[in-house]
Amino acid sequence: MENDLTKNRCEACRIDAPVLTDKEIEQLLPQIPSWIVSEQDGIKKLICSYAFLNYEDSVKFTNEVANLAEQEDHHPEIILEWGKVTVVWWSHKIMGLHKNDFICAAKTDSIL
């Protein structure tokens, strides 16, 4: 698979797909340096917040992330606030992180 995450496409995630190991996460994380791994209720998730100068720019970015999610058929949690958008990627079917999440995180960064 291509090293540049933005050049990859998400693959269909099956319920029996393995979650990424800690080692795999450590290897992928440097490619998305603004993101952190957070564990919530035992589920690892990628989280990044983006700052904007106004609400209109926040909404525009949110819509672009939503379009990305539809293109990739992989959907994040998006929290829209005045001047701030927080995006959370994880794979719902496997209750953890998959390479798809890293691909979408990298593509989210590239929207800016």
pLDDT of residue 112: 86
Phi and psi at residue 16, in whole multiples of 5°?
-100, 10
Interatomic CA distance for residues 99 and 34, integer angstroms: 17
Class of domain 19-111: alpha beta
**Which tens digits make up the pLDDT trace of 70-90?**
999 999 999 999 999 999 999
> Quick check: 50 and 74 in contact, CB under 8 A?
no
Interatomic CA distance for residues 20 and 96, integer angstroms: 8
pTM: 0.90
**Which tens digits make up the pLDDT trace of 32-82?**
999 999 999 999 999 999 999 999 999 999 999 999 999 999 999 999 999
pLDDT of residue 48: 98
Burial 67-105 (b: 16+ CB within 10 A, else e): ebbeebebebebeeeeeebebbbbbeebebbbbbbbbbb
pLDDT of residue 14: 72
Q: Which of 13-17, 18-22, 38-42, 105-109 has the lowest mean pLDDT?
A: 13-17
Which of these, 85, 105, 86, 112, lies nearest to 20 by C-alpha position?
105
pLDDT of residue 1: 39
Domain ranges, ordered by start, for the chain: 19-111
Phi and psi at residue 79, in whole multiples of 5°?
-110, 115
Interatomic CA distance for residues 101 and 83, integer angstroms: 24
